[in-house]
Structure 1
Amino acid sequence: MKNKTYCFFSILAISVLAITYGFTKPDAVKDKPEAMDCTETAKTSGESQFKPTIENKNTPPTNKTPKGMVWIPGGEFSMGSNVEDESLCSIKGITKDASPVHRVYVDGYYMDKTEVTNEQFEAFVKATGYVTLAEKKPTIEEYPNVPVENLIAGSAVFTPTPAKVDLNNYIQWWSYVGGADWRHPKGPQSSIKGKEKYPVVHIAYEDAVAYANWAGKRLPTEAEWEFAARGGKTGELYAWGNTLKPKGKFQANIYQGHFPVKDGDTGEDGFKDIAPTAQYQPNAYGLYDMGGNVWEWTNDWYSVDYYKSLSKSKKITKNPQGPDAYNDPNDPTQIKRVHRGGSFLCTDQYCTRYMVGTRGKGEVRSAANHLGFRCVKNI
């Protein structure tokens, strides 16, 4: 029975976590990086592929900006990434789904300053009685070969390893934890008491959509998310500029030290786990945490070759809504949408997708303790 339960939990964890690290193939990281190979400067492909951002000059028709939101003017910009490596330790070739850089236009919109917080999500739940997917017991229809007693509500939780491990098998540091959900981020014994301003986590795509509908908002498209994160700047590596640590200071909650070892995070950025929102300087549009802390859902289906299809036209794509269907050849059975921004678990040793043009992906009915969202609103 124990082995069957473990197998079931492993399957669920894998369905969650093919996700934000954006693997192409398991052997893509077979050469374990050494600390001496790491750098603070990302390797890019030759000359810049970015053309200047052209912001719209229009302003919103009213001065009544929705509470907790900022105005994003929209405009024309170069979207994507020309970074060649997945990490600053030269893990090769995994960011190809973020290329080529291509030209996009988006209309103006409002965007939440921060990720949706625990207190905001709690207000939604109290008003509607909503129950998240992580709180619901999986059904026999979803998992017909799993014994009923093993169908337990829960979600994926980062579980550090006791010692260094090869980084080619992410299941080593993730566990499916029964009772883990937005109220109990690390399992039934944990709580969000005193963490009202922390981003809500363990949110599946449909949970994020339900909140957005209730709030009179929606999830951003991937293009809207990146335009906002760039803050009107052109082709910069991060939401805060081209330097990982301006004046020697981290600008986002990411992972420093030996990943994914227990107590391996040095906390040089001020945090060794998830952080409250708005702990670092906002970008030029007044948005906080557009890199690190928690991954954020967008509304777009994930397709590995979507950027290639857009770039073929050689035209500016206006208000792209993403591909018509999901497409991940390395994991074809999992229905995925795009994540953006990276999380507190992103590290120079393994995953540097806090770089503003890079992408993540997630199975739509799965969640984890490093996954949240923020919303946008039309004029």
Structure 2
Amino acid sequence: MEFKKIIGNDFLMGAVDNEGFPEDHEKPRTKVNIPDFYITDTTITNADFKRFVDETNYISEAEAAGWGFVFYGLLNSENTDAQKVPDTPWWRIVKGASWKHPYGPKSSINDLMDHPVVHISRNDALVFCKWSKTRLPSEAEWEYAARGGNNDLIYPWGNKLVDNKGYHANTWQGSFPNNNDKSDGFFGTAPVYSFEPNSFDLYQVIGNVWEWCSNKRGIPLKDFQNKNGKDFWSSNDQYSEDEYAMRGGSFLCHASYCNRYRLGARNGNTANSTSSNVGFRVVRDI
């Protein structure tokens, strides 16, 4: 893990466009003050998480449950008959899928050590944070860091997902969920140092994998005026089954279905949920 120091300031939190979902409460844009903090320049990798497990013998929630959600396009041949998830049939319930077997029991992370760790619940991330003396960022800290000082942009590099310089993030290209033409070079996760960093030298703040945050899902943006990252963490650092915020989108995001890879976009899930496109990055207080 490599940390970058983020110099705090006031910023306008929330979406600058009108492409979001009303239920996500991306607006109204709200002035929020962010104190200084440190944040990892990438999401936690398989190598990072393996060091943690090697020292603690931690068993993740997916491992304990004996299964995980895997995008069907990543399935190994022995799992092609895995049970479909109702309403979202591109997700399959795969026995033996976990952080160290991301696509099923016969898959491995041996060649993916520099990829983001996946199949990580928020509860798993909490245990990692206690071991590493870190915490999860609040949504406000995450967005401030992800914006890199570019307060009025949709993406870290500009207002178009793809510009004359090409692709800047690992998202879905083609027709979701049946055809990904891999124009950005990747079908599943990408190594964490792929693509150029933002202005704060943080890599892949959008796309690749969803990133867990410390606060609950969908709270009003004005709540971030009254609590800082440490406040949210101190009241949300225990096991939970409630819904918590996630940011950044993933390699499965596409404008036709999940247009949540924008800097102001918001999402969330139950804290004990895991899948093949969810990970996290961590912060340290000054």
- Identify whether the pair has TM-score above 0.5, normalized to the shorter chain: yes
The residue that corresponds to 1:330 in the other structure is: none
What CA distance in whole angstroms lies between the structure 1 residues aligned with 2:133 and 2:29? Answer: 32
Offset, 1:241: 2.1
The residue that corresponds to 2:216 in the other structure is: 301
Offset, 1:83: 2.8
- Asked if 1 retains the 8 angstrom alpha-carbon contact of 2:41 and 2:202, the reply is yes
What CA distance in whole angstroms lies between the structure 2 residues aligned with 1:96 and 1:221? Answer: 16
The residue that corresponds to 1:124 in the other structure is: 52
- Listed as ranges, the matches of 1:5-20 within 5 Å are none
Offset, 1:267: 0.6
What CA distance in whole angstroms lies between the structure 2 residues aligned with 1:74 and 1:170? Answer: 42
In the alignment of these two chains, the number of paired residues is: 270
Change (3 A) 1:323 1:107: closer
SS at match of 1:173: strand
What TM-score do you get using the length of structure 2 for normalisation? 0.88
1:366 to 273, 276, 280: 273
Of all paired residues, the percent bearing the same amino acid is 37
What CA distance in whole angstroms lies between the structure 2 residues aligned with 1:184 and 1:249? Answer: 32
What CA distance in whole angstroms lies between the structure 2 residues aligned with 1:208 and 1:96? Answer: 23
What CA distance in whole angstroms lies between the structure 2 residues aligned with 1:72 and 1:325? Answer: 23
Which amino acid is the alignment partner of residue 245 of structure 2? V
The residue that corresponds to 2:18 in the other structure is: 84
What CA distance in whole angstroms lies between the structure 2 residues aligned with 1:211 and 1:339? Answer: 17
What CA distance in whole angstroms lies between the structure 2 residues aligned with 1:96 and 1:123? Answer: 35
1:110 to 28, 32, 38: 38
- Listed as ranges, the matches of 1:188-207 within 5 Å are 188-207=105-124
What TM-score do you get using the length of structure 1 for normalisation? 0.67
1:158 to 63, 71, 74: 71
What CA distance in whole angstroms lies between the structure 1 residues aligned with 2:54 and 2:202? Answer: 27
SS at match of 2:123: helix
What CA distance in whole angstroms lies between the structure 1 residues aligned with 2:264 and 2:145? Answer: 11
The residue that corresponds to 2:173 in the other structure is: 256
Q: Does 2:284 correspond to 1:357?
A: no
Offset, 1:348: 2.0
SS at match of 1:103: strand
Change (3 A) 1:94 1:323: farther
- Asked if 2 retains the 8 angstrom alpha-carbon contact of 1:106 and 1:318, the reply is no
Which amino acid is the alignment partner of residue 306 of structure 1? P
1:234 to 148, 151, 171: 151
What CA distance in whole angstroms lies between the structure 2 residues aligned with 1:324 and 1:236? Answer: 31
Gaps of 5+ in 2: 75-85
Which amino acid is the alignment partner of residue 85 of structure 1? E
Offset, 1:243: 2.3
- Asked if 2 retains the 8 angstrom alpha-carbon contact of 1:116 and 1:372, the reply is yes
Larger Rg: 1
Offset, 1:317: 4.3
2:97 to 167, 180, 191: 180
1:288 to 181, 200, 203: 203
- Asked if 2 retains the 8 angstrom alpha-carbon contact of 1:82 and 1:100, the reply is no
Q: Aligned Cα RMSD in Å? A: 2.2
- Listed as ranges, the matches of 1:56-75 within 5 Å are 68-75=2-9
Which amino acid is the alignment partner of residue 69 of structure 1? F
